């Protein structure tokens, strides 16, 4: 199974978010697994709530294409979440 990665910053703007979401939908439709993460640089770690909200929003908006395998989890300076494609 293919693994595709999508990375966000804690303050990803709306346009970039929509652009990446479109790619995420395409990847899930092709049957690839998604590894999405929010990368915190320097002091931006104080925005970890925003990072989690961003990932949960993405999971919710991709609900019809895939299901969350692992909820957002902070590992060092990255918050990681896995989404697997739904079976046809």
Q: 12-34: per-residue pLDDT in tens?
A: 899 999 999 999 999 999 999 99
pLDDT in tens, 49-68: 999 999 999 999 999 999 99
Domains of the chain, earliest start first: 3-85 (3.30.110.10)
CA distance 56 to 48: 12
Q: Is residue 42 pLDDT above 90, yes or no?
A: no
pTM check: above 0.85:
yes
Dihedrals φ, ψ of 84, to 5°? -105, 145
User: Does residue 25 contact residue 65 with C-beta atoms inside 8 Å?
Assistant: yes
Q: Is residue 88 pLDDT above 70, yes or no?
A: no
CA distance 14 to 84: 24
């Amino acid at each position: 199974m293919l693994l595709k990665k999508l990375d966000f910053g804690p303050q990803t703007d709306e346009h970039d978010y929509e652009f990446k979401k479109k790619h995420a939908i395409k990847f899930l439709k092709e049957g690839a697994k998604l590894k999405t993460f929010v990368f915190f640089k320097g002091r931006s770690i104080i925005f970890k709530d925003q990072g989690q909200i961003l990932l949960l929003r993405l999971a919710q908006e991709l609900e019809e294409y895939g299901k969350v395998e692992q909820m957002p989890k902070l590992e060092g300076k990255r918050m990681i979440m896995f989404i697997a494609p739904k079976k046809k």
